[in-house]
Amino acid sequence: MEFEFDLIVVGAGSGGLAAAKRAASYGAKVAIIEVNQIGGTCVIRGCVPKKLMVYAAKSKKNMDSSEGYGLKNEGINFKSNILLKNVREEVSRLSNLHRNSLKKLNVTVFEGLGRFATQNELEIICPKTKKIKNKISSKKILISVGGKPKKLNIPGIDLAWTSDDIFELEKFPKSILIVGGGYIACEFASIFRNLGTEVIQLIRGQHLLNGFDEDLSLCLEESPTFTEINIISNTQLRSIKRVNGNLESTLDSGDKLLTNNILIATGREPNLLHLNLDFLNLKMDGQYLDVDEVNQTSNANIFAVGDIINKPNLTPVAIEQGRVFSDNFFNSQKRKVNYENIPKAVFTIPEISTVGLSEKKAIEIYSEKNIKIFKCKFTPMSNTFKENKSKCMLKIVVHKLTDKVLGCHMFGETSSEIIQMVSISLNAGITKKDFDITMALHPTISEEFVTMYG
């Protein structure tokens, strides 16, 4: 069979764009299918717009707490409609940049929903009319459709927002209930609270950020931002109904909460439903597509990257998966994705960063007697004259027998910028002695990583 394309990519998010551009740069004839703006979750409704909101929240917080530095605050009037408009304009600009880069590489862009007709053919569906616009074929097909917010199966759920809806708002609400304790929920809780919205946060467990090092969770809960948030733990939402223009939430305890709006941030799941995969009988890994080490599914010509496979659902991971895929299949390389020591950050205020093993995980693997913890907690110099003094916490997890650093964790300003360099060190197999003999840069926060002694 003669195919129209060497590669069809379904989904123009981080992984799909990376794969399409890399394959096209090697001379492959590539098509990409996208139903929304080019850019995917990260650019359109995730990392980028959310980080822009974080900058706004940080700026407002600094303005409100800088009188000790002689900066008299006569009252800052925050206009959420201006922020939201500017965020959408920046997202459109970035989306157009990606579209233009695809055009320069001669990648054909099809607008619509991609749906499998055969294992080598895809139909492109108009989302409004549900009619078939095009039908295209390829030797190889890469699925990179990303994830979507999970919705709770409770009465009234359609009255609530998901994270996707936040960036389409015209203005911020006066009060909001945020359901969830993960990084998306915590980041939005921090944004809304620091920009003046009253926030209630509902979590199923005892603490925020389940799965992160416990010291990071505790630091966040004790921070000035989250002490201003009403965190209700060990509780679940049972129903929602509208009451006089507001939303009434009923909890499993029977208690009721009244807020302007509700944000459901209980995680994300693969966005596979519209692809018509059933007849292909692809092997699954739970809710994810099962792939091998070169991202090949159980069907030899179909591949998958990004949030639809059971690997860390992070933008840089998806980008690397896409590039490795194209390097291997369109440039005869033999590359693999390195999933060791992937740095992670939570852009709360202050922010959280982590790389390697948590203390709990290290003990599970190596036993408590073989693990040594180095930790310090202090007020950063930047907060010296501020009324609300948030702390910094730095932590190193070390294997006693080898002196190898297994994990580094940080809570505090610029921690994401610092941990990026630490992750390089961990990949190089750094030891605690290597930290100790490294000269400190003073006065900085990061110097604490090389001045901690036990």
Domains of the chain, by residue range, sit at 5-148+269-330, 151-266, 344-450
Tokens of 369: 């007697």
Residue 195, pLDDT above cutoff 70: yes
User: Cis bond leading into 155, ω under 30°?
Assistant: no
From residue 285, give the alpha-carbon distance in Å to each of 57, 263, 270, 305: 39, 29, 11, 13
Do strands 108-111 and 30-34 pair parallel, antiparallel, or not at all (unpaired)? Answer: parallel
What pLDDT is recorded for position 76?
78
Residues in the chain: 454
Residue 314, pLDDT above cutoff 90: yes
Angle between helix 47-64 and helix 80-104 axes, rounded to 10 deg:
150
Residue 185, pLDDT above cutoff 80: yes
DSSP readout, 185-250?
HHHHHHHHHHTT-EEEEE-SSSSSSTTS-HHHHHHHHHSHHHHTSEEE-S--EEEEEEETTEEEEE
Q: 39: alpha, beta or left, given left = phi > 0 and alpha = psi -120 to 50? A: left
Q: What are the backbone dihedrals phi and psi of residue 125, each rounded to the nearest 5 degrees, phi first? A: -105, 135
What pLDDT is recorded for position 454?
64
What pLDDT is recorded for position 73?
76
Residue 453, pLDDT above cutoff 90: no
What pLDDT is recorded for position 72?
82
Q: What is the CATH number of domain 5-148+269-330?
A: 3.50.50.60
Give me the mean pLDDT over the 432-448 stretch.
95
Residue 342, pLDDT above cutoff 80: yes
Residue 126, pLDDT above cutoff 70: yes
Give me the mean pLDDT over the 186-199 stretch.
98
What pLDDT is recorded for position 388?
76
Q: What percent of the chain has pLDDT over 70?
A: 100
From residue 359, give the alpha-carbon distance in Å to each of 51, 276, 279, 416, 445: 28, 43, 45, 19, 21
Q: Quick one: 1 exposed, middle or buried, by C-beta within 10 A (0-12, 13-18, 19+)?
A: exposed
| Two domains, one topology: 5-148+269-330 and 151-266 | yes
What pLDDT is recorded for position 224?
94
Q: State the Cα–Cα distance between residues 156 and 149, nearest whole angstrom.
A: 16
Residue among 390, 379, 385 at smallest CA distance from 70: 385
Provide the pLDDT confidence category of residue 1 given band limits of 50, 70 and 90.
low
Q: Are 179 and 263 in contact (CB under 8 A)?
A: yes
Residue 196, pLDDT above cutoff 70: yes
Q: Are 350 and 334 in contact (CB under 8 A)?
A: no
Residue 225, pLDDT above cutoff 90: yes
Residue 2, pLDDT above cutoff 80: no
Q: What is the CATH number of domain 344-450?
A: 3.30.390.30
Provide the pLDDT confidence category of residue 66 given band limits of 50, 70 and 90.
confident
207 is known as an active-site residue: no
Identify which has the larger pLDDT, 350 or 71: 350
Provide the pLDDT confidence category of residue 63 given band limits of 50, 70 and 90.
confident
Q: State the Cα–Cα distance between residues 138 and 20, nearest whole angstrom.
A: 13
Q: State the Cα–Cα distance between residues 253 and 244, nearest whole angstrom.
A: 23
Residue among 170, 116, 164, 165 at smallest CA distance from 138: 116
pTM over 0.85: yes
What pLDDT is recorded for position 131?
94
Give me the mean pLDDT over the 284-303 stretch.
97
Which of 98, 274, 409, 442 is catalytic? The answer is 442
Q: Are 18 and 32 in contact (CB under 8 A)?
A: no
Tokens of 38: 């080019």
Average pLDDT, rounded, for the chain: 95
What pLDDT is recorded for position 77?
87
Residue 110, pLDDT above cutoff 90: yes
Do strands 121-125 and 113-116 pair parallel, antiparallel, or not at all (unpaired)? Answer: antiparallel
Give me the mean pLDDT over the 3-19 stretch.
97
Percentages helix, strand, coil for the chain (3-state, rounded to 5) are 35, 25, 40
Give me the mean pLDDT over the 317-340 stretch.
97
From residue 161, give the alpha-carbon distance in Å to each of 106, 151, 189, 264, 390: 38, 9, 14, 6, 30
Residue 236, pLDDT above cutoff 70: yes
Tokens of 102: 């695809």
Q: What is the CATH number of domain 151-266?
A: 3.50.50.60
What pLDDT is recorded for position 21?
98
- What is the residue whose two structure tokens read 């998901």? 162
Q: State the Cα–Cα distance between residues 80 and 77, nearest whole angstrom.
A: 10
From residue 371, give the alpha-carbon distance in Å to each of 45, 71, 404: 40, 46, 10
**How many other C-beta atoms can be found within 10 angstroms of the C-beta atom of residue 128?**
7
